[in-house]
Structure 1
Amino acid sequence: MTISYKWLHEYLPVSVEPERLSRILTSIGLEVESMEAYEEVKGGLQGLVIGEVLTCEKHPDADKLSLTTVNIGAAEPLQIVCGAPNVAAGQKVVVATVGTTIYPAGGEPLTMKKAKIRGVESHGMICAEDEIGLGNSHAGIMILPANVTVGSLAADYFKPYTDWIIEIGLTPNHMDAMSHMGVARDVIAYLNFHDKKNYVLKSPFSNGFKTDSKALPITVKVENEEACQRYAGVSIANVTVKESPDWLKQRLKAIGVRPINNIVDITNYILHETGQPLHAFDADAITGAEVIVKNLPEGTAFTTLDEKERKLNAEDLMICNKEEAMCIAGVFGGMKSGVKETTKNIFLESAWFNPVTTRKTSFRHNLRTDAATRFEKGVDISNTVNVLKRAALLIKELGGGEIASDVVDVYPKPNEKTQIALKFHYLKKISGKNYHPDTVKKIFESLGFELVKESIDEIWVAAPFSKPDMELPADLAEEVMRIDGLDNVEIPTSITISPSTEADHTGFAYKEKISNNLAGQGFNEIFTNSIANSAWYSDDVLATTVKMLNNLSAELNVMRPSMLETGLQCISFNLNRKNNSLRLFEFGKTYKTTETGKYFETDHLAIYTTGSTEASWKQKASATDVYFLKAVVSGILQQAGLSAETEIAEAEKGFSGVITYKTQKQVIAKIGIVDATQLKQFDIKQPVYFADINWNSLTQLAAKAKLVYKEIPRFPAVERDLAIVIEKNISYAEVEKAIKNTKVSRLKEVSLFDVFESEKIGANKKSMALNFVFQDDEKTLVDKETEKMMSTLIQALEKQFSAEIRK
């Protein structure tokens, strides 16, 4: 919410310094995010003076330049070379002297310096309006009236508008503060409480409204009373649509609203003054002289003010005439019925539209207007007619014309104020502070609450319609604490709390442990959006994907069915910024559905690598590969106390070279190389390796696993190497599994350290060189024992794979 300091003081009975006002607003829960000085003319015309051209002659060396002397009230006149075609002796002009900085419209600031132009010294500049930010004309210098005082400051003559602009970060419940009057009411309540005053709001409403004629009667019919509980309107005839006066344009421009014409500007002004949106129709476009508030059939075409045709939803509330729609109620006007330069007669609307209906329509058509943001939070239904009369009088004042009808006010079921009781002991419990009943009463009265009844231990109040969020005693307690100042909440000397317990402490422990391990290996943790783009997935995947009913945007419309795509989006973002070597991991969820109402989410640990290792004095840079990622995943499982079997699996869609890890016949992790087709979708031109660990399965199995601690062996290990020739299609994983199945108890480790293929060892054959580590915890192994274990292993390999031992 943007607030003008000067505008706010139109409703305050006393002036409050900007710094104090900022502190007050933040203290009462209207957090000031910024407060900046505003200048209608950048630089405020500082340093510019009024001068009089004494002489004007042709420049001796340039036909289009003039040599002038200008009196600026100093001891000596200034000699200035001027290129304007309209400069002449006797003119009163604006002069930028040497050292003055000017701010041209749409240009960079320029500081005046003594210059020599075609051999003649020039001590300043005679200014055109665009050169000092007062306009856009560059046809010639500005010529001022003859009665202007020479030597006076240009800022004193033009009086450019200055202000302080305050940005307030409003929480959604503070609809009442979405206007200058609403903010002023809160400030007055604070001043009354802290300064012991009885200030009241300076109201802009007057009793001067009266009907001039009944020449333009327009009837109103509300068909959907749930979506429009109150609708008021009045006709104004013979208006003149023209530019707004300076004071109105200055107010609007200061808060970032672009002035359009006097009629539209008044509706915007009233919106920011009172918080009540208004809409002005061209009355001549209301066929049948009847306004009908209703819903139209699904798919009805409607052209809005931005000249776009929109297809209406059956739930969209519309303002119509006898023949067609004129406006999307509370959201946006229509092309045909809007106020134009030729408009002579106006029908002015002030209404209350249902917040839920308005919000849905606004989001449905992506029309986030100032009016919609106020209606969707709930405007003051009791103020509808007051605001209408205020706007009508302002239009009559600034646009001429006459009030040409009685006020039409359709309010079939008047709302009743919400009554809430606040017990004083409850207020003390909530706030931790004792408040005197008279103090509480005064705060509520300052905020517009109506006192219903009071007793020794409680107070009953009726909440104003400007505060639709008031429902519970806690809401009233918040209002009292706000006006007292949230900074004044007392801090107790002791705090009583109940210790929290973690239902899944095992999962958190493993997450922290594994995160630290990955960070130690050079990985960075990422957090990607769990809402993804459906365009990334095939129809088969989308068949079981959870789709968003109210998606954030066209690109974010499904809950991600896998971790890969959002990670690739992150990788693509980094690669486009020359961050080419990445090691990333993410803990996240995937989502799936089988039918409406049945949804499943699964926790994952996703790991991504791409690029190469960093080069250093001790090693060259080397490209990362799937074996590096395999080692990382193996280490994670080992940390969790799990042993797993690896298998080469069939290629999956989007992957090749898939390796699976199984524990107790349950797939716990997968590693793969991302296919080029998938990479192309994200404009990635280098290999990416991806590991997906089912975090639910890992933590469940890890919780059951028993970690066994043993004393470090005191006896040395024995190593043996063995080279075997086997069929080319036999994987090392199969060989490793066969070795483990021999159950040689003193075999501690087995590893592959060489693979050799050649026609010398036979077609479709390969040689594997294996290293075995044996160790006995109780004694030193002798050769005889080691040879016996090696013999057992050799026999198993010969039997299962017809392996030949290379000697």
Structure 2
Amino acid sequence: IVDITNFVLHEMGQPLHAFDADKIPSKKIVVKKLAEGTEFKALDESTRKLNADDLMICDGNGNGLCIAGVFGGLESGVTDETANIFLESAHFNAGNIRRTSTRHLLRTDAAKVYEKGSDPNVTVAALKRAAQLMVELASGIITSKIIDEYPTEIKPVEIHLKYQKVTDMFGVELPKDEIHSILRAMNMKMSSVGDDSIKVIVPTDKADVTRDVDLVEELMRIYGFNKIPIPTKVQSTISYKEHPDRVAVRNLLSNHLAAQGFYEMMGLSLIESKHYVHQTEIDNSEFVYINNTSNIHLDIMRPEMMRSGLLSVLHNHNRQQLDVRLFELGKSYRSVDEDFKETEYLTLFMSGKRYGESWMVNAKEPVDYFDIKRYVHSVCSRLGIQKYQVSELENDSRFQYGLSYHRGKDEIVRFGAVQGEISDKMGLKTSTYYAEFNMDMIIKTLAKKIKVIEPSKFPNSRRDLAVVVDKSIGFADLKKMARSADKKLLKEINLFDVYIDEDRLGKAKKSYAISYMFEDATKTLKDKDVDKIMNKIMYSYEHQLSAEIRR
């Protein structure tokens, strides 16, 4: 019996299923969906829990006999003791069968046919063919009439095909007689629509042929791709895209950060408004509220990037992944002047230990502010972003402390330590460091070309200074003033120590230890050249900042 149903499947392309009629209570069949989680014992003796979307063939009591179009049940299957057969031949929705088949990992022959679209008008013929074979080969006796439930007839598709469309897609002109011959060979009826086109009636066994381009594909398949000549020249159009290409920049940043040990994340654009209770940096009128009936707690679009990213950090911490390095390319959403503003950002998050477990380093040393700063500089360096101003963060309650790199009022990036109060409310137990690049400013300020310069053949010269200044003066102020003293020979300015001692330095004073590196690519520097520049720098410090040079 099973061999006959399989034979008809391969002969006519129509799956069949044979039930043991004596095992069907009340001799009644109902096709319906069962409740979510209903258990079903399949032919392979495994018990599966059904999805609410799975179509089932059930008995009169509502018990599942078969997962429709996919797999039979153990209780109603044909065995050596089966005497009476109930034979089923059906047509099912391709998408539903595909979802059920993949959901239960049942890639059966029947499912493979149904999910591609079976012929709805061959079901009765296949049923008769199987019954005939059972009479001939299995000494069967037909005891009932065919019950055919076909509420809405599926009719053949009519397609208007222009000959020029065939020529355009083939690349060469195919004779009309050849087109007609191929279509007739596929049992497609035709009628002329003027001199330049025909109407084609596609039989229902070709469920995927619904458009003129599908018809041309069928013509190509039968005609033979190998018969289509290969052109001797290739024509193409030159595509233009703006520079810099935003997608290319995103890919460049992703590859760069991934190479630095960061993992890319994709945070939800939706967030709970409760995370912004008692915050001061964003006015509630700027929130973009949504009517989310599926998850009512996710009631606003994220107005900024930090908190949604901290949720991802928390998700990792809750799964014992404490050493976190994440980045995201995403958008924030705000309501501004009866309109909506979307701003794209690149964000970085760091928490946990600086190094992985190793005997070579102090594995317990945590990441700090200078780690996030190092990666901010790494991104700027990779993009060739230079010549920006540096300011301490103000009026941003999200940060304990941090810096902003900007050009005038246009901010490129801000970074620093996440405010402890925010971390506590989010449930984080370790310090987290955050950087936020404005993608519009990245696109605007990145270098069109990154220049590579060979190392100088001549030695460089270094000078160190210990400068005592007021606590209100930052290293950025000293660095900017030194740059203005010389722009040709002064190559690097680095801060290597900060010393604070009210007894020795005085109240509200601090001491910076700064190194200055000089280099000339054309000659060896002389001490008098370097001393001249250093004297200008010290003079500026003393007279413009009231600094004291410790000699």
Is the shorter-chain TM-score for this pair beyond 0.5, marking a shared fold?
A: yes
Give yes or no for the alignment of 1:332 onto 2:71. Answer: yes
Q: Is the 8 A contact 2:481 2:537 kept in 1?
A: no
Sequence identity, in percent?
32
1:632 paired with 2:370, answer no
Q: Distance in 2 between matches of 1:423 and 1:745?
A: 74
| Higher Cα radius of gyration | 1
Could you say which residue in structure 2 is the equivalent of 1:403?
142
> Does structure 1 residue 794 correspond to structure 2 residue 517?
no
Offset at residue 431 of structure 1 (A) = 1.0
Per the alignment, residue 330 of structure 2 pairs with: 590
Structure 2 residue identity aligned to 1:806:
R
| Cα contact 2:499–2:512 (8 A) shared by 1 | no
CA–CA separation in structure 1 for the residues paired with 2:268 and 2:22: 47
Q: Does 1:467 align with 2:210?
A: no
3-state secondary structure, aligned to 2:208: coil
1:720, 1:449 → 2: CA distance?
Answer: 89
8 Å CA contact 2:393–2:404 kept in 1: the answer is: yes
Amino acid at match of 1:337: S
Name which of 699, 703, 720 aligns with 2:443: 699
1:694 Cα offset (Å): 4.2
Which one of the candidate residues 412, 421, 427 is aligned to 2:160? 421
- Does structure 1 conserve the Cα–Cα contact (< 8 Å) formed by 2:498 and 2:512? yes
| Alpha carbons 1:723, 1:768 under 8 Å: kept | yes
Q: 1:531 to 1:480 in 2, by over 3 A?
A: farther
* Kept after mapping to 2: 8 A contact 1:561/1:592: no
Structure 2 vs 1, CA of residues 540 and 443 (structure 1 numbering), >3 Å: closer, same or farther?
Answer: farther
Distance 1:565 1:697, change over 3 A: farther
1:668 aligns with 2:402: no
Amino acid at match of 1:303: F
Note the C-alpha offset of 1:303: 1.7
781 and 532 in structure 1: CA distance in 2 versus 1, 3 angstrom threshold: closer
Shift of 1:470: 1.6
Separation in structure 2 between the aligned mates of residue 292 and residue 391 of structure 1, nearest angstrom: 22
TM-superposition CA deviations, 1:66-98 (whole Å, max 9, x none): xxxxxxxxxxxxxxxxxxxxxxxxxxxxxxxxx
Quick check: 2:499–2:511 contact (8 Å CA) kept in 1? yes
- Matched residue, 1:723: 466
Shift of 1:270: 3.7
Task: Provide closer, same or farther for how the CA distance between residues 533 and 292 of structure 1 changes in structure 2, counting only shifts above 3 A.
Answer: same
> Hey, what does 1:769 align to over in structure 2?
513
Q: Say yes or no: does 1:643 pair with 2:388.
A: yes
Deviation at 1:351, TM superposition (A): 0.6
CA–CA distance in structure 2, aligned partners of residues 339 and 695 of structure 1: 65
1:646 to partner: Cα distance: 6.2
Is 1:301 the counterpart of 2:46? The answer is no
TM-superposition CA deviations, 1:713-766 (whole Å, max 9, x none): xxxx99864213468xx69xx522333676984344572353265989579986
Q: Judge conservation of contact 2:518–2:530 (CA < 8 Å) in 1.
A: no
CA distance in 1, matches of 2:12, 2:264: 39
Task: Name the amino acid aligned to 2:512.
Answer: M
Distance 1:427 1:348 in 2: 44
The answer as to whether partners of 2:91 and 2:118 remain within 8 angstroms in 1 is yes
Deviation of 1:301 (Å): 2.6
SS in 1 for 2:121: helix
Per-residue displacement from partner, 1:456-482 (whole Å, max 9, x unpaired)?
543432112121122222222221112
Counterparts of 1:503 and 1:784, CA distance in 2: 47
Counterpart contact for 1:301–1:310, Cα < 8 Å:
yes
TM-score scaled by length of structure 2: 0.64
TM-score (ref. length: structure 1) = 0.46
Q: Counterparts of 1:600 and 1:272 in 2: how far apart (Å)? A: 56
CA gap 1:289/1:630 in 2 versus in 1, 3 angstroms: closer
1:354–1:673 Cα change, 3 Å: same
Q: Distance in 1 between matches of 2:334 and 2:10?
A: 49
Letter in 2 for 1:485: G
Which position in structure 1 is the counterpart of 2:27? 289
Q: Which amino acid aligns with 2:388?
A: S
Task: Provide the rounded CA distance (Å) in 2 between the counterparts of 1:690 and 1:390.
Answer: 71
Deviation larger for 355-364 or 436-445: 355-364
- CA change 1:497–1:277 in 2 (3 A) is same
- Asked whether 1:387 is paired with 2:126, we answer yes
Q: Whole-Å Cα distance in 2 between the matches of residues 358 and 365 of structure 1?
A: 11
2: CA distance, partners of 1:269 / 1:689: 66
Structure 2, unmatched stretches of 5+, are 277-286, 295-306, 419-430, 451-459, 520-527
CA distance in 1, matches of 2:71, 2:514: 77
1:610 and 1:688 in contact (8 A); partners too:
no
Instruction: Check the 8 A contact 2:345/2:436 in 1, yes or no.
Output: no
CA–CA separation in structure 1 for the residues paired with 2:389 and 2:78: 74
Show the counterpart of 1:318: 56
* AA partner of residue 188 (structure 2): F
Structure 1 counterpart of 2:538, which letter? M
Q: How many residues align?
A: 474
Within 1, Cα distance between the matches of 2:185 and 2:33? 40
- Greater relative contact order structure (CA < 8 Å, 6+ sep): 1
**1:590 aligned partner, one-letter code:** G
Counterpart-to-counterpart distance in 2, 1:269 and 1:561: 57
Unaligned runs of 5+ in 1: 1-261, 551-559, 576-583, 613-619, 675-686, 708-716
Q: CA deviation at 1:342?
A: 3.9
How large is the RMSD of aligned CA atoms in angstroms?
A: 5.8
Change (3 A) 1:784 1:329: closer
Contact 2:485 2:533 in 1 (8 A): no
Matched, 1:376 2:101: no
Q: CA deviation at 1:427?
A: 1.6
- Please give the alpha-carbon distance, in whole angstroms, between the structure 2 residues aligned to 1:465 and 1:736: 78
Aligned counterparts, 1:3-82, within 5 A:
none
Provide the C-alpha distance between the structure 1 equivalents of 2:4 and 2:401, rounded to a whole number of angstroms.
69
SS in 1 for 2:91: strand
Q: 1:483 aligns with which of 211, 222, 230?
A: 222
The yes-or-no answer on 1:746 pairing with 2:488 is no
Contact 2:16 2:89 survives alignment (8 Å): yes
1:348 aligns to what SS in structure 2?
strand
Structure 2 Cα separation of the partners of residues 600 and 275 of structure 1: 52
SS of corresponding position for 2:474: helix
Q: Summarize deviations over 1:413-453 as a string: whole Å, max 9, x none.
A: 32221122323233222212222222222212222323445
Q: Which amino acid aligns with 1:278?
A: L
Displacement of 1:631 in angstroms is 4.2
- Equivalence for 2:299: none
Q: Does the CA contact (< 8 Å) of 2:30 and 2:62 recur in 1?
A: no
Using the alignment, how far apart are the partners of 2:97 and 2:252 within structure 1? 49
- Please state how far the C-alpha of 1:601 moved relative to its aligned partner: 8.3
1:382 positional shift: 1.7
Q: Is the 8 Å Cα contact of residues 302 and 325 (structure 1) preserved in structure 2?
A: no
Shift of 1:324: 0.9
Whether the aligned pair in 1 keeps the contact of 2:263 and 2:326 (CA below 8 Å) is: no
Are residues 515 and 481 of structure 1, via their aligned partners in 2, closer, same or farther at CA, if it must alter by over 3 Å? Answer: same
Q: What SS class does the counterpart of residue 200 from structure 2 fall into?
A: strand
Partner Cα separation in structure 2 for residue 345 and residue 529 of structure 1: 61
Indicate yes or no: 2:9 matched with 1:271: yes
Deviations 1:454-511 (A, max 9, x none): 8754343211212112222222222111222223322334555443221454546767
Letter in 1 for 2:14: Q
